[in-house]
Amino acid sequence: MVTEIGALIERVCAERELECESTGDAAWVVTLPGTHKLKTACNLIVGEHALRIEAFVMRHPDERSEELWAWLLRRNARMYGVSFSIDAAGDVYLTGRVTLKGLDEDELDRLLGAVLTYADESFDSMLEIGFGSSIKREWEWRVKRGESLANLQAFAHLADEETPG
């Protein structure tokens, strides 16, 4: 079964022009290109009965962790195929498990699309919750030095907020 699922993964990625690399006998990493989160590495691990999906989204937040966890849990209620989870260090992942029975090109496409959509659409909000103070400091530092703000434009509204204390 691993051989068939591996061929399916490689075929779907080739047809969609996604970077895909075998990382073991039953594992592949697919690079999903995004807009907000520029790249999401999605690990696909084929087990005896299920395909496991794991994608790192962001490291442990510097601040407001509980607010971020609550936000992620609310998002999970509306998601397909994968959900947000955290590891022992508090890093955020998208994880899922689906049966190998019935896994076809369309379903794999839906799952990869779900990972890309959830990682990309959530990324700026997650950064704002977990790293808002750092983003504000970085914005101020760049303004003082005349540095580019191009990759911080999603957070321009934070620069307008008053910094406490």
pLDDT tens for each residue of 105-146:
999 999 999 999 999 999 999 999 999 999 899 888 999 999
Distances (CA, A) of 122 to 72, 128, 159: 9, 10, 20
Any idea where the domains of the chain sit in the sequence?
A: 2-132
User: Does the structure show a pLDDT above 70 at 165?
Assistant: no
Closest to 13 (Cα-Cα) out of 1, 22, 24: 22
- Summarised one tens digit per residue, pLDDT across range 26-58 is 999 999 999 999 999 999 999 999 999 999 999
State the chain's mean pLDDT as an integer.
94
User: Does the structure show a pLDDT above 70 at 63?
Assistant: yes
Closest to 55 (Cα-Cα) out of 9, 127, 115: 115
| Bigger pLDDT: 98 vs 160 | 98
Q: Give me the CATH topology for the region 2-132.
A: Yope Regulator; Chain: A, (3.30.1460)
Q: In what order do the strands lie in the sheet with 92-99?
A: 19-24, 27-33, 39-46, 50-58, 92-99, 83-86
Is the separation of the CB atoms in 104 and 112 below 8 Å? Answer: no
Strands 50-58 and 39-46: antiparallel
The model's pTM: 0.89
Residue 161, helix vs strand vs coil: coil
